[in-house]
């Protein structure tokens, strides 16, 4: 097996805006996704998780700039020529959006939508593409696939349409799938089903999956490793089981502690304040203003990711606050 990971991000930063008003959206992010690995990218609004995925597909708007390195199988995505980029987008990677309705053309049939990419990318002929799409639909439990091809997006429920997005994403047989909040717009029972289908296909094909979510519980259930983002940076990275059961960063711990439970009534322990974006952060740790453990050092000096117990954590005080953090989560 090839040793280079599928996707490797090193020191990725994203800025946007015009020359006078340049805003930092993502700062110094390192991330890798290997074949057959599911990586979760978790964070609240404005944390930069979607921007990061867009930058990895080079889908950022014109006024946004990416710095650092983004490598796909050892080749620099940021250095791709037009032709390489179109090949990369059509064969190597696929993106599943949050809102399938916003990403399908209401005037074109599902069939047109599904085969457009593979036909335009000359991966398959139109007839073959339709056959493959039908086979794939049948495999993920969509009934009467032939008929579905002739339907329009408005005739399908949200859950069914999102399954079509999965079909469209998998049809070109990509190596890596980005899923940006793929089930956020869906009901819980449908979410369960769509996630099961996605997971099944990803495993069967040994694909890499970068799963973006604001829902730590959901991400924890479906990923192998987790990266928690706050204000445009990764604050904690490690295997899912460890991050979830024993968070080391106060933000991760706070996120875990503030979610309501369906089985017990407790006074919730919210994180004070609101989530901030990278450009709102001056010097020091981005989380310091909301962190119960912050000291003068945290406010002055931005912590870098460092290895603590097989994991990467960006916090000055990991060693001092470990025991208290455990209490925050489990009390």
Q: Is 85 exposed, middle or buried (0-12, 13-18, 19+ CB in 10 A)?
A: middle
Q: Which of 45, 76, 320, 327 binds other proteins (CB under 8 A)?
A: 45
Residue among 81, 261, 283, 331 that touches other proteins (CB under 8 A)? 261
Query: Counting contacts by CB under 8 A, is residue 244 touching other proteins?
Result: yes
Give the helix, strand, coil percentages of the chain, each rounded to 5. Answer: 40, 20, 35
Q: Does 197 bind other proteins (CB under 8 A)?
A: yes
Per rule CB under 8 A, is residue 253 in the interface with other proteins? no
Whole-angstrom CA distances from 40 to 53, 60, 108, 312, 314 are 12, 21, 33, 15, 17
CB of 106 to other proteins, least distance (A): 16
Q: How far apart are CA 292 and CA 121, in angstroms?
A: 52
Q: Is 190 an interacting residue with respect to other proteins (CB under 8 A)?
A: yes
Q: In angstroms, how far is the first alpha carbon of the chain from the final one?
A: 45
Member of 191, 201, 223, 225 binding other proteins (CB under 8 A) = 191
Q: Is 267 in the site for other proteins (CB under 8 A)?
A: yes
Based on the shown chain and the rule CB under 8 A, indicate whether residue 138 belongs to the binding site for other proteins. no
Q: Total residues at the site for other proteins (CB under 8 A)?
A: 47
Q: Is 158 in the site for other proteins (CB under 8 A)?
A: yes
Q: Which of 2, 21, 263, 331 binds other proteins (CB under 8 A)?
A: 263
Provide the H-helix boundaries in the chain.
49-56, 82-87, 110-120, 126-139, 145-149, 158-170, 188-204, 216-222, 240-245, 250-258, 296-300, 318-330
The residue among 36 and 158 lying less far from other proteins, judged by its C-beta, is: 158
The pair of structure tokens assigned to 271 is: 């994180």
The DSSP line for 66-114 is EEEEEEETTEEGGG--HHHHHHIIIIIEEEE-S-GGGGS-TTS-HHHHH
Q: With CA atoms as reference, report the closest residue to 132 among 182, 173, 176.
A: 173
- The rounded radius of gyration (Å) of the Cα atoms in the chain is 21
Interface with other proteins, residue 10, by CB under 8 A: no
Give the Cβ contact number of residue 270 at 10 Å: 10
Q: How far is the CB of 190 from other proteins (least distance, A)?
A: 8
The residue range among 80-88, 127-135, 174-182, 262-270 that interacts with other proteins, by the rule CB under 8 A, is: 262-270
Q: Does 222 bind other proteins (CB under 8 A)?
A: yes
Binding segment toward other proteins, per CB under 8 A, in 30-38, 80-88, 118-126, 208-216: 208-216
Q: Which of the stretches 25-33, 106-114, 196-204, 231-239 binds other proteins when contact is defined by CB under 8 A?
A: 196-204
What does the alpha-carbon distance between residue 3 and residue 153 come to, in Å, rounded to a whole number?
Answer: 41
Residue 188 within binding range of other proteins, rule CB under 8 A: yes
**Residue 286 structure tokens:** 């981005």
Smallest separation (angstroms) from other proteins to the CB of 179: 13
Kindly list the residues in this chain that would bind other proteins in the complex (CB under 8 A). Answer: 44-45, 141, 158, 187-197, 199-200, 214-218, 220-222, 244-245, 254-255, 258-272, 274-275, 290
């Amino acid at each position: 097996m090839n040793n280079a990971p599928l996707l490797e991000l090193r020191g990725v930063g994203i800025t946007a805006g015009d020359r006078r008003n340049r805003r930092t959206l993502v700062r110094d992010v390192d991330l890798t996704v290997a074949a057959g690995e599911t990586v979760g990218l978790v964070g609240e609004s404005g944390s930069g998780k979607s921007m990061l995925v867009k930058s990895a597909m080079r889908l950022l708007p014109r006024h946004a700039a990416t710095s650092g390195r983004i490598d796909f199988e050892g080749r620099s995505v940021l250095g791709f020529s037009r032709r390489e980029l179109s090949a990369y987008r059509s064969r190597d990677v696929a993106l599943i959006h949050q809102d399938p309705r916003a990403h399908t053309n209401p005037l074109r049939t599902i069939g047109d939508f599904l085969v457009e990419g593979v036909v335009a990318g000359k991966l398959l002929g139109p007839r073959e593409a339709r056959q493959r799409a039908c086979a794939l639909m049948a495999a993920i439990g969509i009934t009467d696939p032939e008929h579905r091809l002739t339907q329009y997006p408005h005739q399908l429920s949200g859950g069914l349409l999102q399954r079509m997005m999965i079909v469209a994403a998998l049809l070109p047989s990509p190596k890596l799938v980005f899923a940006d909040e793929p089930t956020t717009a869906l009901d819980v029972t449908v979410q369960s089903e769509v996630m099961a289908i996605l997971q099944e296909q990803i495993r069967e094909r040994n694909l890499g999956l970068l799963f973006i979510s604001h829902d730590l519980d959901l991400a924890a259930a479906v990923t192998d490793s987790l990266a928690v983002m706050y204000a445009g940076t990764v604050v904690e990275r490690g295997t899912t089981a460890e991050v979830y059961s024993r968070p080391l960063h106060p933000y991760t711990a706070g996120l875990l502690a503030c979610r309501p439970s369906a089985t017990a009534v407790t006074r919730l322990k919210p994180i004070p304040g609101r989530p901030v974006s990278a450009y709102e952060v001056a010097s020091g740790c981005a989380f310091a203003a909301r962190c119960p453990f912050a000291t003068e050092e945290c406010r002055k000096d931005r912590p870098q990711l460092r290895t603590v117990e097989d994991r990467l954590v960006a916090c000055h005080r990991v060693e001092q606050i470990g025991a208290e953090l455990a209490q925050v989560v489990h009390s």
